[in-house]
Every structure is written in C-alpha cells, then in structure tokens.
Structure 1
Amino acid sequence: MNLAEFIIRIESYNANVDIPLIRKAYEFSDKSHAGQKRQSGEPFVEHCLEVAFILAEQHMDSTTIAAGLIHDVVEDTPVTPIEVRDHFDDEVAELVDGVTKLGAVQFSSREEQQAEYFRKMLLTMAEDIRVILIKLADRLHNMRTLEHLPREKRTRIAQETRDVYCPLAHRFGLNRIKVELDDLSLKYLEPGVYLDLVQRIKEKKQEREAYIEEVVAPIRKELSENGIQANVYGRAKHLDSVYRKIRTRNVLFEEIYDLFAIRIIVGTERECYHTLGILHAMWKPVADRFHDYIANPKPNGYRSLHTTVFGPHNRMVEIQIRTHQMHNIAENGIAAHWLYKEGRQEMSKSDRQMIWLRDVLEWQKDMINPSDFLDYLKIDLYSEDIFIFTPKGKLIHLPKGSTPLDFAIQIHTEVGIHCA
C-alpha cells in the first residue's frame, strides 16, 4: 500500500482527516525506517501504514492515525523523543511516547515482566486510552504476519495475545479487533484445530447461506410491513467462538446449531423492542435464551437485545437487535468515543472504562507479588469466565459454561479420561 492509496482508503472512514498531518507523519516514518525490513522482506514502513489503517477503520482521529504511522520510530530507529516533538505537536508526541514506554524491559522472571507490562499498560491507558488502541492495532498487524517468524516465537506471541491483548480488546469493546486476535491466536496455538474448523465451515457455507436467506427474507418483509426500516443480515460466528462452544458444551461440530447469527439494525431503541415483539410473533422463542443488554449493558458498554427462536424447519436461530449507534459501539468500543465525542452516552461509557482503570491501579498498589497481580487482573478481564484453584494452588482459567470434566482435563488429561 502506497501513501496515495492509504489516503484514499482512510478518507472512506473519516472524511475530515487531516491530510497534511498524515502526509507529514508518513514521510517522517518512511525516512526514519529507511532501509529497514520486516521478517517478511517488506519495507518496515508497510507495517506502519497497516497499523495506521487499522486505526482509521476504528474511526480514530487524525492525531491517533498520525501517531500510528510513527509509533515505532523511537523504539526501532535512532530518532529521539525530542526529535518527534520538534516535528509534531505535543499530542502526537505524547501518544508515541506512551507506546514507546510499553516496550520490553528486562526483569528477573517472565511472570514479573508480564505483570510489570500490565502495570505500564494500565498506567499509560489512564493517561490517554488511545495509546492502547495503537498498541492493539500494532499487535493485530503483527499477528496477521506472524507466519514469517520462527515457530517458538510464534507460539509465545500468540499465547501472549490470547492472555493479554484479547481480553483487553474485549474489556474496551473493540469487537472487530478482538475477534480477529482470537482467531489468529487459535491459528498458531492449535493449528490442527484451526485448519479443521476452516474446512468444516467452508463445506457448510452453501447450506448455511441458503438457510440464512430463509430466515432473513421473512424478517425484512414483516419489518417493512410494520414501518420499520432495518438492515437485516446473517453473519458467521468466528472460529475461536465455535471452538469454545465445542469444548464447553462437549459436543461434536455437527451438533453446533449456532454457526451463524442474524443481526438486525434499526433506527431507535423503541424499534428494537418493537422488532423483538414481531420476531416472537413470527417464531416461538427459546426459553431462557433472551438477554436485554439495552436495559442492562455489559461492563464494556455493549448494548443489544439477544433472543433465540425456533426458525424455519424448527431450527434454533440466534438473533441480535440493536440501533446503528449501538452497533458502532459494539464494533468499535471505546474508539467510538472519537466518532461521537459530543454524545453524552459515549462520554459516560468512557468514564466507566476510566473508573475500571482507576480501580485496577488502586488494588495493584497493594500487591507485591507479580503472580497475585496477574491472577486478579485475569479474573477481572475475563469476568464472564470461570477461575478455579487446584489443590496445589495453581489458577485454572475456563470459559463460561465449563464442567467439572473440563477442569479435570485441564489438570491432567489422564484425570479427565478417568472422570469421563
């Protein structure tokens, strides 16, 4: 991707992007990284462009995109923080400085290093949340190009991504980034499982798309007849989500009914509930499968109505209903703050995230042992999951819905087999 193509692409996400600033940042990055190559053999500046484009996809402001373009200049080139401040305003320079400070530091143990990295990340986020958005974009592109690294390094980075970056992306509602990081982590941590799922889902694609149309067509018709303008479509569940369902439900791939979900996007909150009533009149709802996340948002600010119905041919169909604004927040999370920064709701959502950060920073001060800090932070980040201590005091992390057998298998495969 060259600069001209990059500018055209980012303008499709932000028509008011500051082109002179973006051009200046690109030229500074290109000059600073001159002669540097990635493991793939591509010029290093390609990575900078991709990171900045991921930020543009999240509808970030020009300052953040510019910082994304030069995020590695201090860490990976002779450029100093003072030189960055000489060329850019304080806001850009501080974002680059924040990303740089998250660089690796040598510690006495891997656990201590990871705990300290968490602390640094949280402290930096408390100053400007955009730093973590840049870091997540950086990690996402690194994961996309992970195949060029040695196997041992791929595994280490993928595990770190699953343990650190995926839950952080979830906590801040960055769904599109989280989903891709989840799937890429699975690809490198369990390649056999990943390839098998890709093939199985591909084989069912035609059948799945035909059934989705059977569901979507009557919904569109009913909503139109009731005067509701809506965007109705089906979306495939991501691979890591399917794999988690197979493990937690202890079922075969063929027994997973919800390989896809129907999404309905309407204009107002009132239309969300009206649409729900129409759906339940069309098809019988499944008991205990309704969740009102509009009245009771998730901790990361996610809002939608979730229901499951017995659709055509009496097959269970999962449906999500939300407004356009809720959809933007669901996909972009706290990044949506910069798209709707004048809106009260997004401001209060950002405030909730900052309250969480302050709480974490407060109780981490009282924890001397890095292991304790990591364990408590993981519990908080994976608030919907299950954590159990083994008789030896080891903390085991299991997805929501796991059974005692899953716990036994985590301790030792042989134990799990005997329990079964």
Structure 2
Amino acid sequence: MPMEEKFIYTDKERELSEQIFEGFKETLGQTFYGTDLPKLREHLNKVVSDNNIHRNVFGLNPILCSLQTAAIAVKDIGLNRDSVVAILLYQSVQEGILTLENISKAYGEGVSKIIHGLIRVQILYQKTPVIETENFRNLLLSFAEDMRVILIMIADRVNLMRQIRDVENKEAQRKVSEEASYLYAPLAHKLGLYQLKSELEDLSLKYLEHDAYYHIKDKLNATKKVRDAYISSFINPVSEQLKTAGLKFHIKGRTKSIHSIWQKMKKQKCAFEGIYDLFAIRIILDSPEDKEKMQCWQAYSIVTDMYQPNPKRLRDWLSVPKSNGYECLHITVLGPDKKWVEVQIRTERMDEIAEHGLAAHWRYKGVKAEGGMDNWLASIRSALEAGNNLEVMDQFKSDLYEKEIYVFTPKGDLLKFPKGVTVLDFAYHIHSKIGNQCVGGKINGKNVSFRTELHSGDSVEILTSTTQKPNRDWLNICKSSRAKAKIRLALKETQIKDGLYAKELLERRFKNKKIEIEDSTMGYLIRKLGFKEVSEFYKQIADEKLDPNHVIEEYQKAYNHVHNLNQPKEAESAENFEFESHTTEYIKNNDDVLVIDKNLKGLDFSLAKCCHPIYGDPVFGFVTVSGGIKIHREDCPNAPEMRKRFGYRVVKARWSGKGTSQYAITLRVIGNDDIGIVSNISNIISKDEKIVMRSINIDSHDGLFSGNLVVLLDDNSKLNMLIKKLRTVKGVKEVVRI
C-alpha cells in the first residue's frame, strides 16, 4: 500500500498565516479569551504534524484559506471571536478530528452552534440541488439557523474567488464562479455587503467571461486620465459652492464596477463607448444626525442650480429609505460637455452603512422592516441595535423559518410549502394524477406514509398505484389549499363517474323487471332511505354498500304507498258527480259518459299520475293505446295537447255519488323562513281528522323556504279548504297544487 503524501506547509504560507494571527491580536484582542489563540495555534500545528490535512481541489492550503476567510469576516463584515474560532476549527470537525462536544467545552456553545450550522449547509450541497433559484437562497437562510453561518459562507467564497485566478482546474473554477454569481453575490447584496457583492460579481465575470472582463478593464484603463480630468472639472465648481454654503464634506468619483458596465452593455445592446454613466460623483457630508436631511437637500439644491437635472432620474431614498436601510439622494445632471453624470448625496453615517452594511450597522440606527425574506434579512440590522458587536446574532432567529419550508424533488429542484405540509401535499403539487394515485413516499430514501409531515431540506419521492383513489379523509391530511382544491375536484369527478355507473346499473335492473322508474317516487324513496344527497345514494350502490334488488323492493313499496295502492281500488273509486259541460266540445259523436265508480266492473281505468285527479275535480277520460282509460283533470297540463291531437280518444267522465276514498295530493309551499313555520303547517293538518299528512320536505335558503307537502284527503273541497288555511299561516307566501 503506497504511503500517503505528506502535507507541506510552505514558508510563504507560514509567513502569511503568522501575519493574519498577529492581525487578530490587534483587531480582536479584547474579545478573545486568554488561552484562545495559543490553543488554536497548538491545534492547527498538531493537525499539520499529524498529517491530518489535505490541499483542496485547487491545491490550496485549507488552514491558510480558513485564516484568510476569518480575516475577511473580521475586516469587511465585522464578525469576531466566536466566528473566527468556528472558521478555524470547522475543517477539523469535518475531518472527524474534533467533535462539537469538544468544541463546546473548550470554546463555548456559540462556536459549536456556528460549526453545526456550517455542517448542515454542507449537507444541502450533497443533495446536488439546483441552486440558482430564489428558493435555494431562502432554504440556505432557514437551514443555517444562525445568520453568522451565511456571513462566513460569503467571506469564504470571496476569499476562494481571490485565490483561484491561476488554478489549472478550470471546471471547478467555473462552478465556484457560477455559484458566486447567482447565490453568494445576491446574498451579499441583501445583507448590505455591497463591496463584497461587487467583488464577487467582478471576479465571477473575470473567470466566466474572460474576454468581456478584460475588454472593459482595458477600456477603463485607457480612458482613466480623460475620466479623471472630467471628474475634476465637474467637482471643483461644486466644491466651491458647498464651501461657500458652510457645509463640511468630501467628494469622490466612483467608477462603476466592470460587472455593472457589462450588464449595461448587454441590456442596452451597445459597445463600451455607448455607456455614458461610467462613473458616479459621491458627495459625502459630515453632518450631525439631526441636520442630515436638511443638509442633503441643501447640497441637492446647489448641484441642480449649477447643472440641469433630469427629473425622471431622481431617486429619493432619504425621505423613505430602502427596506435594507440604504439612505441616499440620487440625481442625474447634465455636466460639462453635455454629458449626463449621476450624483449621489449622503452623509458619513449613510455612506458607512451603504459601503459596509451589516458590519457598520451597530454604530448607527437602522430601519426596521417587516414581512418577506428580503425585508427579514434587512431587519437583521435592527436586531443589532442591542449591543456594540455582532454577537447579538446568537439570539436572532428567522421567523420565516417557522412559516415556510423548502424541500427537494428527486431531480434536485426546490419547492416552497407552508410549514406542516405532508407527503400528499407534495404529490398534488407535482401533478393532480400523482396526487390521486399517491400511496406513500420516500423521505431521504426511507419509506413513509403519505400522512408524514415534511421538513426543510427533505428529499421527497412519491410512490403511486393505479388502483389508488382519493377519499374525503385526504382533505384532513393535506394542509395546502392547492392540494385540497385538487382533491375536491377529484372526488367530484369520481362521484359523477360512479353515480352515472350506478344509475345505469339500477335502470338496467328495473328494465329487466319491466318496472318503469317514476322520478317523484324515486326521490321519495331516496329520502326515505335516509339520503340527503342523490349522489350519495348512487355512490353507495357503486360501492356495493346498497343492493339494487333491495332498492327495487323498496321502490315498489314506496310506489304503492305514494299512489295509495295498498288499499284495494281506493284510488279508483268515487260516487256520482256531474261532469262539467265544457268538455263536450272535444267529444265528437259520442254522448256516452264514463261514470267513475269503485264498483265498476269490466272496465280498466286508473287515475293519471301527471295531474293526480281527486273526487270533486272536473275530469275527462283518455283511452290509452293498451285499451285502458286514464282519468285526467280538466286543467291537466297535458289536456290541451291530448284534445288537439287525439280528440277522438277523449271521453266524458264524472264521479259517481260521494267520494269515499283518500287521494295523495302534493302541495308546493313557499314563504319566509320563520321559526316554527313547519310546526304551524303540521298543526293545521293534524287538527283535521279527515286529512293525513304523508310527508313534508322543506329546504331553506337565504331566509326563504320552499317545500313539498304530500297529504291524503277525500275530495277537492277538502283540498281547497286546506289551501285556504295554509295561506293564513304567518310567513307563507304561496300554496299551489302540483
């Protein structure tokens, strides 16, 4: 087995390391505990002597890289003791040389907490995510828990970008540069680390689009003298006026970053020469805090008196600062030689915050902001007001972490969900069909139920089955409104499909038994069987919980009951009754009159179901195709058509004697939905011993009720009396016979 190559710490690397160590003594001497630096030095020396260290993919010394990262974290961001110790020991924890427990005992819980966050973030990278998304940035922020973890990552990436200019591994250089461009630079910008953000963008451009970077850099160098001369010609007269006004200030000209110039060239589709605002003039006032706004506007007035402003380009972040705390006045004026120049006016305090963001904030009052990840990041500033250093971040937690989670698809895409969602929510987010067929899932490779709750950073895979169907319980499992809406739609579609199948099945069974389905009787039967919804009735048949044969038996009973066929020939009996004379015009060459009597022999007649005639109603007979006679009311809805088309089949009819049978009549009642309305209607019917209430079915909606009332009575005089009484009930608006 070949011997492992020994790690060589070069003299130059040792010299640089010593310089950084000495720098820590000067800048952070007061915050370090007495034994901190000696212990760290001893540990790092031991790691080297034990050969427990390896150069990274770029051939860089990881200990020196850690020291350089720590130096950036201190100088450019403002982090201190806990963060520096965490940066220097993180590699040892990753290699298994130290544990978090060791670090917690030796250096305190704050250090181990930062390292724990760095390790958690490293786990995310192992999931090979698609990291150029906003969701990944947000997941990173929530996963790290401690904001110092993110700040350390930014410092580490800035350092790495500085060191990899001449490396041979171009593929690794490209990957690191892309991440710097679309992950770390936006994070730095959100946190107000504008200098580091510009550096990351410029270095990314340098490695990713080498030709474009050097083209712009060369052009900037070539025009530097001309640009400097122009800046001087612009600044000098402004300086004189500001001094005359008694303002304390200094002015500097700032050339735009190479990256921002390149973006402008691409956006405006022009060459370098077409970009006119290559630089900005910055007027920085030394102003007391209570006079900041006044003096800024005074400077604005002086500049715009000298040079014509473009009102469309005024940006007032003085009156209303940006959500990240940025305060400044931006104006664009027409300078010498008719060139547009951007002028920024702000105070020393505003400039310090604009340049160094988070690092500068503890000295100055920031702006509080609420809501949204961007605003949340900016509001970190207000959390720092409590002390004169950044250690207050120990207590700072993302409230957004409590409201949202970010999970991975098997391909590495990141999806955002509200906290508390389950595997089933995830399935429906992917596709309705996946959700409908979901039987479970895998979280980080382990099989789980579809009820399992998801957490930030989980990798989720869905397991499906073609036999799976959604049910109502799923509405309680899902938390997202999107998933619930899809489940309701699926249930509705399933119900319609099952209902059609069940209805066809039932109609086929009825047809086989030569029974014609009457809608009103079927409706009565469905209610009698205890179903509020027709769809639920058919669903039970489809699910084989209700036997169609049982339904047919019950239907026949219901039919007999509704049509009063249980009492022999009662519905067909009546005594003598004179028919109305106006029917004669429809009866041609036929003076015979059908007398309807229960004792009538040898003649097949029955009462029509379309108009339900009762004793006392003016009636006529209609000869059917089968030879039987149907008795209809004179005002039957079908009467005009029958008389017009089949006048030869219409016969006169009258009731015989006095009515002795009871007839089922349906009344439609409509009125206001008052308390006790049903009770009042029932009392009127029950007081008349010759009227029997068979059923009452009332629906209420928006303060109105409507319903059908089925009663048994002797004749139409009883019916008319009942209708009259019902119309006197308080709240009843209309009573009609149907």
Q: Common fold, TM-score beyond 0.5?
A: yes
1:207 to 216, 219, 226: 226
Alpha-carbon distance in structure 2 between the residues aligned to 1:249 and 1:355: 34
Stretch deviating more after TM superposition (86-95 or 166-175): 86-95
Alpha-carbon distance in structure 1 between the residues aligned to 2:65 and 2:191: 24
Q: Output the amino acid matched with 1:205.
A: K
| Aligned match of 1:294 | 318
Deviations along 1:17-44, whole A, 9 cap, x unmatched?
5484762475166336525335565532
Deviations along 1:367-388, whole A, 9 cap, x unmatched?
97964638xxxxxxxxxxxxxx
Q: Unmatched 5+ residue regions in structure 2?
A: 1-14, 381-397, 417-738
Aligned pairs for 1:271-310 (under 5 A) are: 271-310=295-334
1:239 to 247, 253, 258: 258
2:188, 2:197 within 8 Å by CA — same for their partners in 1? yes
Is 1:101 aligned to residue 120 of structure 2? yes
Relative to structure 1, the CA distance from residue 280 to residue 119 in structure 2 (aligned partners, 3 Å threshold; closer, same or farther) is closer
Aligned pairs for 1:328-343 (under 5 A) are: 328-337=352-361, 339-340=362-363, 343=364
| Aligned match of 2:74 | 56
Alpha-carbon distance in structure 1 between the residues aligned to 2:135 and 2:66: 26
| Aligned match of 1:320 | 344
| Aligned match of 1:145 | 163
| Aligned match of 2:150 | 132
Is 1:162 aligned to residue 164 of structure 2? no
User: Post-superposition shift, 1:61?
Assistant: 3.2
- Greater strand share, 1 or 2? 2
Q: Output the amino acid matched with 1:318.
A: E
| Aligned match of 1:46 | 64
Helix, strand or coil for the counterpart of 1:258? coil
Q: Output the amino acid matched with 1:30.
A: L
Aligned pairs for 1:360-399 (under 5 A) are: 362-364=403-405, 371=413, 373=415
The alignment-based identity, stated in percent, is 27
User: Post-superposition shift, 1:164?
Assistant: 1.0
| Aligned match of 1:269 | 293
2:58, 2:169 within 8 Å by CA — same for their partners in 1? no
Q: Output the amino acid matched with 1:171.
A: K
Alpha-carbon distance in structure 2 between the residues aligned to 1:159 and 1:323: 35
Alpha-carbon distance in structure 1 between the residues aligned to 2:99 and 2:133: 26
1:224 to 243, 248, 253: 243
User: TM-score, normalised on structure 2?
Assistant: 0.46
Aligned pairs for 1:179-218 (under 5 A) are: 179-218=198-237
Q: Output the amino acid matched with 1:345.
A: G
Deviations along 1:274-326, whole A, 9 cap, x unmatched?
11111111211123111011222223222211111111222111111112221
Helix, strand or coil for the counterpart of 2:415? helix
2:87, 2:152 within 8 Å by CA — same for their partners in 1? yes
Alpha-carbon distance in structure 1 between the residues aligned to 2:24 and 2:312: 43
1:242, 1:259 within 8 Å by CA — same for their partners in 2? yes
Alpha-carbon distance in structure 2 between the residues aligned to 1:206 and 1:11: 41
User: Post-superposition shift, 1:178?
Assistant: 0.5
Stretch deviating more after TM superposition (3-12 or 244-253): 3-12
User: Post-superposition shift, 1:149?
Assistant: 5.2
Alpha-carbon distance in structure 2 between the residues aligned to 1:11 and 1:304: 36
Helix, strand or coil for the counterpart of 1:345? coil
Q: Output the amino acid matched with 1:295.
A: S
User: Post-superposition shift, 1:72?
Assistant: 3.0
2:130, 2:414 within 8 Å by CA — same for their partners in 1? no
| Aligned match of 1:393 | none
Deviations along 1:105-164, whole A, 9 cap, x unmatched?
576654389899646521245x32111111100111111122325111111221122121
Relative to structure 1, the CA distance from residue 137 to residue 308 in structure 2 (aligned partners, 3 Å threshold; closer, same or farther) is same
Q: CA RMSD in A?
A: 3.4
Alpha-carbon distance in structure 1 between the residues aligned to 2:44 and 2:174: 30
- Greater helix share, 1 or 2? 1
Alpha-carbon distance in structure 1 between the residues aligned to 2:158 and 2:309: 38
User: Post-superposition shift, 1:238?
Assistant: 0.7
1:175, 1:331 within 8 Å by CA — same for their partners in 2? yes
Q: Rg: which structure is higher?
A: 2
Aligned pairs, number: 371
Relative to structure 1, the CA distance from residue 112 to residue 198 in structure 2 (aligned partners, 3 Å threshold; closer, same or farther) is closer
1:107, 1:113 within 8 Å by CA — same for their partners in 2? no
Relative to structure 1, the CA distance from residue 271 to residue 28 in structure 2 (aligned partners, 3 Å threshold; closer, same or farther) is farther
Deviations along 1:81-125, whole A, 9 cap, x unmatched?
122212201112211221222114576654389899646521245
User: TM-score, normalised on structure 1?
Assistant: 0.77
Relative to structure 1, the CA distance from residue 132 to residue 187 in structure 2 (aligned partners, 3 Å threshold; closer, same or farther) is same
Q: Output the amino acid matched with 1:135.
A: M
Alpha-carbon distance in structure 2 between the residues aligned to 1:220 and 1:105: 53
Q: Output the amino acid matched with 1:138.
A: D
Larger relative contact order, structure 1 or 2 (CA cutoff 8 Å, min sep 6):
1
Alpha-carbon distance in structure 2 between the residues aligned to 1:310 and 1:113: 39
Alpha-carbon distance in structure 2 between the residues aligned to 1:305 and 1:20: 47
Alpha-carbon distance in structure 2 between the residues aligned to 1:107 and 1:302: 36
Alpha-carbon distance in structure 1 between the residues aligned to 2:25 and 2:329: 32
